[in-house]
Amino acid sequence: MLRFIVRRLLQLIPTLGGLSILLFVWLQRLPGGPEYALLPDDATAEQRAQLRRSFGLEEPLTVQYLAFLRRIVQGDLGTSLMTSRPVTEEFMTRFPATFELAVTAMLIAVAVGVPLGYLAARKRGSALDFAAVGGSLLGICTPVFFLAFILKVVFAERLGLFPSAFRLSPGMSRTDLSGFVVLDGIRTGEFDVVWDALLHLALPGVALASIPLAVIVRMTRASVLEVLGEDYVRTANAKGLRPGTVRTRHVMRNALLPVVTAVGLLTGSLFAGAVLTESVFAFPGIGSFIYAATQTRDYPVLTGFILLIATLYVFINLLVDISYSLLDPRVRAQ
């Protein structure tokens, strides 16, 4: 097991190295470049050239890349043009908010999606199956920001059931240990804060969950259908095992393996979805900051955040791979 983890970790090095080259080539050398992004449209050619020099863009490419890499390794991703604070610091202060939102969305998606997909497969061809499949197709085709807006107008503004913006109600005081509002609240025993934070997470969480939910429903359904047709399920039933045992030990255990992988892969799309959801609900996380950065063309923030998110994504998938090998011994054997 340890060898498996070490091997996977070593394999990350070329992936991350390649990722940095890819981002460097794409983002540093995009048409336009910082001299267009940062300067007003009427800037002179001389001003543009000077800015290019100050960014080191006139140096040979290899020199630029090595400098870029050195800074990345030292954790220096530049300074935000909006706030004049280091990009890494901006990322770290906003990460807990988005993390809580993403976990909420994933929990909703798994808690609803897996049972729904299972039931749809068991009752294949029924009205429930039709509704589950149709609903998930609809979910994939609905723009996330529109869903977020509808939820906000109906449940926050019209019905007043949930707050419409931010992580906590104004005036709510809390002891800040780590930036994770819910976790901190549980550790310090401030349960009014926990409840308030959960209320604020509900609507953006549901909006963000829509796409992973749709994918998980369809994936679980397809996977359960496949497993139900396997010989070992027939054998298990034939030798008189209780239906509940067959369901949990034989069907679900095998059917959920691809779903575990999907959860890891969907995490990447959660960060993209967070840009849309967070900006609708003024949720102070990574997504709304990226949105602000797109509006002001905050060059260092955009490049830095996408690199950090891609790295995060690679690590999440490493965790998924490891948990997968724990669930399925055959993966370890290869």
Burial class (CB in 10 A: 0-12, 13-18, 19+), 13: exposed
Q: Is 11 in the site for other proteins (CB under 8 A)?
A: yes
Residue 242: DSSP 8-state: -
Stretch that binds other proteins, among 30-38, 52-60, 74-82, 172-180 (CB under 8 A): 30-38
Alpha-carbon gap, residue 155 to 147, rounded angstroms: 12
Single out the residue of 80, 110, 108 nearest to residue 93, CA to CA: 80
Write down the least CB distance from residue 240 to other proteins, Å: 20
Q: Burial letters for 207-246: b for 16+ Cβ neighbours within 10 Å, e otherwise?
A: bbbbbbbbbbbbbbbbbbeebbeeeebeebeeeeeeeeeb
Among 80, 88, 220, 303, binds other proteins (CB under 8 A): 303
Write down the least CB distance from residue 25 to other proteins, Å: 10
Alpha-carbon gap, residue 211 to 135, rounded angstroms: 11
Stretch that binds other proteins, among 49-57, 199-207, 227-235, 241-249 (CB under 8 A): 227-235
Q: Is 292 in the site for other proteins (CB under 8 A)?
A: no
Contact call for residues 17 and 314 (beta carbons, < 8 A):
no
Alpha-carbon gap, residue 124 to 229, rounded angstroms: 13
- Cβ closer to other proteins: 186 or 327? 327
Write down the least CB distance from residue 330 to other proteins, Å: 7
Write down the least CB distance from residue 225 to other proteins, Å: 9
Q: Is 83 in the site for other proteins (CB under 8 A)?
A: no
Among 215, 216, 276, 308, binds other proteins (CB under 8 A): 276
| Ramachandran sector of residue 39 (left: φ over 0; alpha: ψ -120 to 50; beta: rest) | beta
Binding site for other proteins (CB under 8 A): 8, 11-12, 14-15, 18-19, 22, 26-27, 30-32, 36-37, 137-138, 140-146, 149, 153, 157, 226-227, 230, 232, 254, 257-258, 261, 265, 268-269, 271-273, 275-276, 279, 290-291, 293-295, 297, 299, 302-303, 306, 309-310, 313-314, 317-318, 321, 328, 330-331, 334
